[in-house]
Amino acid sequence: MKRFFQGNGKPDLAIDFGTANTRVVTVDGGIAFDEPSLCCFAKGTGAGELVTAGADALAMKDRITGDLRIVRPLNRGVLSDIPAAREFLAYAVQKSVGQRRLRSFRALIGVPADATNAERGALLTAARDAGLGAVTLVPEPLAAAWGAGLPVDDAQGSMIVECGAGTTEAVVLSLGGPCAAASQRGGGDALDTAIADYLHFQRKFLIGPTTAERIKREIVGMDPEQAGAGAEILIKGRNLVTGLPQVITVSAQSLLPVAEKHAASITKLVVDLLGQLPPELSRDVHDNGIMLTGGSAAIRMIQSALAKATGLPVKVATNAAHCVAAGLQRGLLH
């Protein structure tokens, strides 16, 4: 870890800038900011004026009037709107440290391991425009491995699958860096979209992103036996046939194939990566198993599908959703 940060100066804070949520960790320890990665702008010239962000913007989502718009700065793990990213980073850091002048702050910011140079440059530009000083970009799977307590600095292979909202990354780490990696854009958000699409096309029922995420969270807590036992989910939305608000009941079992398809895509990613490993790393992964981190790691069928397909022990990290933030916090103290 020390080698990774050599020459960059001691950072003051760290930012887990995620597609769904952003967390800011200060050098004093602990998460000082943990809110949805959303901005609300008043329409006008250019990007418009920032009205609010974070949790307040989430409460306004799908309820805004004509002169407001909700923007998500990141899409599929990388920046999709630099002005929104600039405003949101400034909002998050100011709320964390209680200062408006940020130029003196050095920061660590997590970034997908497969981010292109252009994507990394866009993030650095947004951070600079937000008022931050020197910024070091840290690969999110590496930070997650630190946060999960894996021995990534040792001469042994450790495999981690970071299941984020915007991207899923499988990485084998050794001696403080990645030895092999694979990723796919589309994480937990892709499952939200798939659930909404299923209800749209199969039940002629329209729901919003917030409701889709709630349904996903209910499925997360179930195993296939529970769903098969007749568990049902109450869903509020709009009937596309009548055009009227309605409440429907959907069996959890009918939604399982949607979640299983999502788990299958992650399983294929991991199996393909395992097939590329040299023998010694394969032996290490066989001995140590696979660690799951990220918000979507809580989906039980991902764990069971990986274990069945690989024959390896698969564990979910303690406080999996916060592993990147925890790893970045270790970076602050290096």
Res 319: pLDDT? 92
Tokens 């989906």 correspond to: 299
Residue predicted with more confidence, 258 or 48: 258
**pLDDT interval class at 133 (50, 70, 90):** confident
Q: What is the mean pLDDT of residues 128-152?
A: 92
- Please tell me the distance from the alpha carbon of residue 148 to that of residue 218, in angstroms, as a whole number: 25
Res 9: pLDDT? 67
Question: 106: number of CA atoms within 13 Å, CB side?
Answer: 13
Give 88: exposed, middle or buried? Use CB within 10 Å, 0-12, 13-18, 19+: buried
Angstrom distances, CA of residue 333 to CA of 27, 176, 207, 267, 303: 7, 16, 44, 35, 32
Q: Do residues 161 and 169 touch, judged by C-beta distance below 8 A?
A: yes
Residue 229 has pLDDT above 80, yes or no: no
- Please tell me the distance from the alpha carbon of residue 175 to that of residue 110, in angstroms, as a whole number: 20
Is 5 in a helix, a strand, or coil?
A: helix
Q: Do residues 205 and 235 touch, judged by C-beta distance below 8 A?
A: yes
What number of other Cβ atoms are within 10 A of residue 44's Cβ? 9
Q: What is the mean pLDDT of residues 11-39?
A: 90
Q: Do residues 187 and 296 touch, judged by C-beta distance below 8 A?
A: yes
Residue 90 φ/ψ, nearest 5 degrees? -60, -45
Q: How many residues appear in the chain?
A: 334
The H-or-E segment that residue 252 falls in is: helix 252-274
Res 102: pLDDT? 55
Residue 8 has pLDDT above 70, yes or no: no
Percent of the chain clearing pLDDT 70 (strictly above): 92
Residue 122 has pLDDT above 80, yes or no: yes
What number of other Cβ atoms are within 10 A of residue 140's Cβ? 29
Res 77: pLDDT? 78
The strands making up 232-239's β-sheet, listed across from edge to edge, are 205-206, 232-239, 245-251
Res 197: pLDDT? 96
Res 333: pLDDT? 79
What structural domains does the chain harbor? 2-140+324-332 (3.30.420.40), 150-316 (3.30.420.40)
Residue predicted with more confidence, 47 or 235: 235
Q: Chain-wide mean pLDDT for the chain?
A: 88
Q: What is the mean pLDDT of residues 45-73?
A: 85
The H-or-E segment that residue 127 falls in is: helix 117-129
Q: What residues contact residue 20 under an 8 Å CB cut-off, 6+ apart? A: 36, 37, 164, 165, 166, 188, 189, 295
Q: What is the CA radius of gyration of the chain?
A: 21
What number of other Cβ atoms are within 10 A of residue 279's Cβ? 7
Residue 325 has pLDDT above 90, yes or no: yes
* Region of poorest pLDDT, from 93-102, 117-126, 255-264: 93-102
- Please tell me the distance from the alpha carbon of residue 166 to that of residue 265, in angstroms, as a whole number: 14
Is 307 in a helix, a strand, or coil?
A: helix
pLDDT in tens, 159-169: 999 999 889 99
Residue predicted with more confidence, 96 or 144: 144
pLDDT in tens, 246-258: 999 998 888 888 9
Residue 327 has pLDDT above 80, yes or no: yes
Question: For the chain, what is the largest distance between any 2 Cα atoms, rounded to a whole number of angstroms?
Answer: 63
pLDDT in tens, 247-300: 999 988 888 889 889 999 999 999 999 999 999 999 999 999 999 999 888 888
As given in the structure block, the two tokens for residue 230 are 């007749």
Angstrom distances, CA of residue 231 to CA of 197, 227, 299: 21, 5, 16
What does the DSSP 8-state code read for residue 161? E
* Region of poorest pLDDT, from 76-90, 211-225, 313-327: 211-225
Q: Do residues 40 and 57 touch, judged by C-beta distance below 8 A?
A: yes
Residue predicted with more confidence, 135 or 299: 135
Res 80: pLDDT? 86
Q: Do residues 163 and 292 touch, judged by C-beta distance below 8 A?
A: yes
Res 140: pLDDT? 93
